[in-house]
Amino acid sequence: MIEEKGILFVLSGPSGVGKGTVRKALFELDTELQYSISMTTRDIRHGETEGVDYFYKTKQEFENLIADEKLLEYAQYVGNYYGTPRDYVEETLEKGKDVFLEIEVQGALQVKKNFPQGVFIFLIPPSLEELKNRIVGRGTETEELVKNRLLEAKKEIDMMDAYDYVVVNDRIESAVEKIQSIVRSEHCKRERVAREYKKALEADLG
C-alpha cells in the first residue's frame, strides 16, 4: 500500500478578493483538509483555544523560532507577531493529511521561498472594477483607502507568475469547485505518485 504524504496548498490573492469566504465554503465541503493553525504573540482572547485558534507564544519564544528558521512565514502587525509554524505543517503532512493555508500575497511568497514543494493557488477577481465594488461594499474603507488598496492589488496581481494555479473568483461555488479539482489533480501528478510508489516497492523488496 502506498502511504502518500500530504500536500501543502496555499491560497492567496489581493485583499478583498474573497479568500476567507472561499476557504470557509471549501472547508464546509472538504473535511479532509487541515487548516494551517497560525502562531501569534498576541494575548489569547475569551473563547479562543490554544492549538485550535492559534498557537500562543511570548515575543521571545517567537523571535527564537525566527532565528531557528522554524517559521514558513511571519509578519508583525500592531505590535504582535503572526506566523506559520514549520513543524506543525510538516508533522501534519507526514501523517498523510493535506494542509491548507489562506494568506496574503507577501506571506505566500515567503512560504514559497521556504517551502517550494507547496502548491500555490492565486485567487483573482473577475475585474478590478468588481474588486473595487467588493472593497467599497464592506463599508469600512475611506475613499483614499479604497484607492490605495486597488493600487496594491494591481501590484499583487502582477505577482501571479509566482503561483502554480490561478482561479477566478466570479462565483464562490465555481471557485471552490476549481480548487477541489486542483487538490485532486495534484494527488495524481506523475512525479508525486511515482516517488511514493517507488518507496513502497523498495520497502516490499527490502
Counting beta carbons within 10 angstroms of the beta carbon of residue 16, is it exposed (0 to 12), middle (13 to 18) or buried (19 or more)?
Answer: buried
Q: Where are the domains of the chain?
A: 1-33+98-206, 37-97
Q: Output the pLDDT for position 16.
A: 82
Q: Output the pLDDT for position 7.
A: 96
pLDDT tens digit at each of 206 positions of the chain: 455 789 999 999 988 889 999 999 999 998 889 999 999 999 999 999 999 889 999 999 999 999 999 999 999 988 999 999 999 999 999 999 999 999 999 999 999 999 999 999 999 988 888 888 877 876 667 888 888 888 888 888 889 999 999 999 999 999 999 999 999 999 988 877 777 777 767 766 65
CATH no., domain 37-97: 3.30.63.10
CA atoms within 13 Å, Cβ hemisphere of 184: 7
Contact assessment for residue 187 and residue 6, using Cβ atoms and an 8 Å cutoff: no
Place of cell 493553525: 37
Q: Output the pLDDT for position 2.
A: 52
Question: What phi, psi does 135 have (nearest 5°)?
Answer: -65, -45
Q: Output the pLDDT for position 147.
A: 85
Q: Output the pLDDT for position 30.
A: 84
Can you name the residues that pair with 40 across neighbouring β-strands? 56, 82
Q: Output the pLDDT for position 154.
A: 87
Q: Return d(Cα 133, Cα 142) in angstroms, integer.
A: 13
Question: Closest by alpha carbon to 38, among 62, 50, 55, 58?
Answer: 55
Q: Output the pLDDT for position 3.
A: 59
Q: Output the pLDDT for position 116.
A: 96
SS3 127: coil
* Yes or no: domain 1-33+98-206 corresponds to CATH 3.40.50.300: yes
Which is it for strands 34-35 and 165-168: parallel, antiparallel or unpaired? Answer: unpaired
Q: Return d(Cα 103, Cα 114) in angstroms, integer.
A: 15
